[in-house]
Structure 1
Amino acid sequence: MLVQRLPDTSLTVALASGGREFFGWGQDRHMVADLFDAVNQNTRSTGQWGKGKAPKIPEFPRPKKAKAKKKASKRSVSVAEIYRRFSGR
């Protein structure tokens, strides 16, 4: 089923993106988070920190992406084994 014209902040789009934690995360919120991180990175790289190192500025909190499931290792299967699987009803 294809659902069209849903707002990007809807729960349906969030569930399709990876889970409930993406609810409310439209393009505008992603852009604001990227802008926040860019300003912080610019501040770290151009600041006058004296003798010390630049402080670590935390990134904007984002929802965690779902981890990809590990694929089962592909094992070679003989023709005889395939035949046995299909004929063993």
Structure 2
Amino acid sequence: MVQRLPDTSLTFALASGGREHFGWGVDRHMTADIFDALNQNTRATGQWGKKPPKFPEWPRPKVKKKAAPKGKSKRRVSVADIYKQFSARR
């Protein structure tokens, strides 16, 4: 992996799983986790009638799990693979 790139860069996002990870750095993940923790704390300590309400989680990019090829070890993402993703038109 290319080192010293900011965690919000497009190259880092493509290596992490796709364009939907673009802009999602450590700070954004921590903010979403804090939001969800506050909602869970509110749900746990609130005085609700019979059943506490469901609070929606902060929307996050979905991690796509790739099926590992049978009989082969997991291949690293090469610079050529990242270039192909950059040059792909959508």
TM more than 0.5: yes
Count of aligned residue pairs for this structure pair? 71
- 3-state SS of paired residue (2:43): helix
Give the Cα separation in 1 of the matches to 2:14 and 2:32. 20
Report percent identity of matched pairs. Answer: 72
- Aligned partner letter, 1:61: P
Give the Cα separation in 1 of the matches to 2:68 and 2:51. 39
| Corresponding residue of 1:27 | 26
User: Which structure 2 segments of 5+ residues have no match?
Assistant: 72-90
Q: Which ranges of 4 or more aligned residues in structure 1 deviate by more than 4 Å?
A: none
- Aligned partner letter, 2:11: T
CA RMSD of aligned residues (A): 1.4
| Corresponding residue of 1:87 | none
TM-score, L = length of structure 2:
0.73
Greater RCO (CA < 8 Å, at least 6 residues apart): 2
User: Which structure 1 segments of 5+ residues have no match?
Assistant: 75-89
**Structure 1 position 67, deviation (Å):** 2.0
Task: Give the greater-gyration-radius structure (CA).
Answer: 1
